[in-house]
């Protein structure tokens, strides 16, 4: 059948949707056809408040003129430049600008096209680094339960989401996991960083003893785990991981795909927690979601180990056709301009208290068993319906969509992460709608 002849039902057949049950979606399709500032426009003409910055990415909001213009101009000027053995000025300019945003020694930037690619890139760099300094037995990675590091084989292996792993059989060899730090028995309704649980970091010592440090290349964690429902690290936890890694020659990787670019009220989680890892993965907010792009920040010692290494290690044998794509670079540079001009990288800090108070005002709504927040991230955990996990939160998602609010759910947790341009009035509207949604669902 020709595409032009296909009717709407047939159109819904061909596209195999990511992380979506197509058959369920087909029964109740939800389509966005436009986006501006804090709102999406639906195919039936409604304005939906974006409570999730798309998928944690549109930090500057939607349809921002400066970014749109930069992308249009770049496509007209030079659509593409080969990524290998050739350069173009904007990639160098962007890398230098990004590196200047990170504390030293995170001085070098490798470009990718997504968070998943950033993660697999960082894991490969960690392995290559260990070899280049004569530590080739260090091939093991330590991830964390309930961690999400994208969809590549590296990412699902170090990740700790059972559903993302069990369909696929073999993972990378030699991976172990720290326990997650989500502890409702002690930390329910925490505001900001939970005070209990720093001792979860000591589990890393147990894994070092079990495997021996000489086998471990790197530890990878999300500073705040987003996709599994906003798990905020206990006070002191990340600092302690850093100490243990330092003691044992293990690299520390922060996956800042969600926390990067202002989400916590600082440019990066590195700044918020005052912990400097050896590698940082980013994506999403780097272009405010406008063009796919990711980046890995590398410590100087890692970069130098490749550049000063023996001949066969003089370059990194890794890269993507679209690494440092000119249009993505133009979008990222205009995004950084927008963030800077509007103070968006620190705006979440000034809104954080208002956000926290609004979020925690939902404590008495039905089914709520926990609320947690940091910067402009929030989560509301609901009591699952017996025998039907995820159903309750998903009905909240559907009802919210009908009531003109976009939220995200994972398991029975509602996750919120609005664009950083949100106003106090829109925060009130968001929580007002959410209150009526929670009161309405079974």
Q: Which residues bind ligand PMP (CB under 6 A)?
A: 114-116, 119, 148-150, 222, 226-227, 255, 257-258, 283
| Smallest separation, CB 153 to ligand PMP (Å) | 13
Nearer to ligand PMP, 144 or 360 (CB): 144
Q: How far is the CB of 123 from ligand PMP (least distance, A)?
A: 12
CA separation, residue 76 to residues 72, 79, 327 (Å)? 6, 7, 10
The DSSP secondary-structure symbol of 363 reads T
C-beta of 57: minimal distance to ligand PMP in Å? 8
Closer by beta carbon to ligand PMP, 119 or else 382: 119
- What is the nearest approach in angstroms of ligand PMP to the Cβ of residue 318? 16
Nearer to ligand PMP, 208 or 218 (CB): 218
Cβ nearer to ligand PMP, comparing 107 with 222 = 222
3-state DSSP assignment of residue 295: strand
CA pair distance 153, 248, nearest whole angstrom? 26
Q: Which is nearer to ligand PMP, 417 or 426 (CB)?
A: 417
Detail the DSSP E strand segments found in 76-226: 106-112, 140-144, 175-178, 216-221
Beta strands in 286-350 (DSSP E): 294-299
**For the chain, what's the residue count?**
442
Pairing label, strands 251-255, 279-282: parallel
229 neighbors 379 (Cβ within 8 angstroms): yes
Pairing label, strands 368-374, 251-255 = unpaired
Which residue, 27 or 167, has its beta carbon nearer to ligand PMP?
167
Residue nearest ligand PMP, CB atom distance: 115
Rounded distance, CA 411 to CA 413, Å?
5
Burial of 135 (0-12, 13-18, 19+ CB in 10 A): middle
Nearer to ligand PMP, 55 or 368 (CB): 55
Q: Is the dihedral of CA 344, 349, 352, 353 positive or negative?
A: negative
Taking the complex as a whole, the smallest distance from the CB of residue 147 to ligand PMP amounts, in Å, to 8
Give the residues across from 142 on adjacent strands: 176, 219
């Amino acid at each position: 059948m020709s595409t032009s002849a296909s009717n709407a039902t047939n159109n819904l057949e061909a596209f195999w949707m990511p992380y979506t049950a197509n058959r369920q979606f087909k029964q109740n399709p939800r389509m966005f056809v436009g986006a501006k500032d804090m709102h999406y426009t639906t195919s039936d003409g409604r304005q939906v408040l974006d409570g999730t910055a798309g998928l944690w990415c549109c930090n500057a909001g939607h349809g921002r003129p400066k970014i749109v213009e930069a992308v249009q101009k770049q496509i007209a000027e030079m659509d593409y430049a080969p990524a290998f053995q050739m350069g173009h000025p904007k990639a160098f300019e962007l890398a230098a600008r990004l590196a200047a945003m990170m504390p030293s020694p995170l001085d070098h930037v490798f470009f990718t096209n997504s968070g998943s690619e950033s993660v697999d890139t960082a894991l490969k760099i960690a392995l290559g680094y260990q070899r280049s300094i004569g530590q080739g037995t260090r091939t093991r990675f330590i991830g964390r339960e309930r961690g999400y590091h994208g969809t590549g084989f590296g990412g699902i292996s170090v990740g700790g989401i059972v559903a993302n792993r069990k369909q696929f059989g073999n993972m990378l060899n030699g991976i172990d996991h720290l326990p997650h730090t989500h502890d409702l028995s002690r930390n329910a309704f925490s505001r900001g960083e939970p005070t209990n649980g720093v001792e979860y970091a000591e589990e890393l010592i147990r894994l070092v003893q079990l495997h021996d440090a000489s086998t471990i290349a790197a530890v990878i964690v999300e500073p705040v785990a987003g996709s599994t429902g906003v798990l905020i690290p206990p006070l002191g936890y990340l600092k302690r991981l850093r100490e243990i890694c330092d003691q044992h020659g293990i690299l520390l990787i922060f996956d800042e795909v969600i926390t990067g670019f202002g989400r916590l009220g600082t440019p990066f989680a590195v700044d918020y927690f005052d912990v400097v890892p050896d590698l940082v993965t980013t994506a999403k907010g780097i272009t405010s979601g406008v063009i796919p792009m990711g980046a890995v920040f590398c410590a100087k010692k890692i970069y130098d180990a490749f550049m000063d290494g023996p001949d066969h290690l003089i370059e990194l044998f890794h890269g993507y056709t679209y690494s440092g794509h000119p249009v993505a670079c133009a979008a990222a540079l205009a995004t950084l301009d927008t963030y800077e001009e509007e103070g968006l990288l620190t705006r979440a800090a000034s809104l954080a208290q208002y956000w926290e108070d609004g979020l925690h005002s939902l404590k008495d709504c039905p089914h709520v068993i926990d609320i947690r927040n940091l910067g402009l991230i929030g989560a509301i955990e609901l009591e699952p319906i017996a025998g039907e996990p995820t159903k309750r939160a998903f009905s909240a998602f559907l009802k919210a969509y009908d009531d003109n609010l976009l939220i995200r759910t994972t398991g029975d947790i509602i996750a919120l992460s609005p664009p950083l341009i949100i106003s106090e009035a829109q925060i009130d509207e968001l929580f007002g709608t959410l209150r009526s949604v929670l009161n309405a669902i079974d």
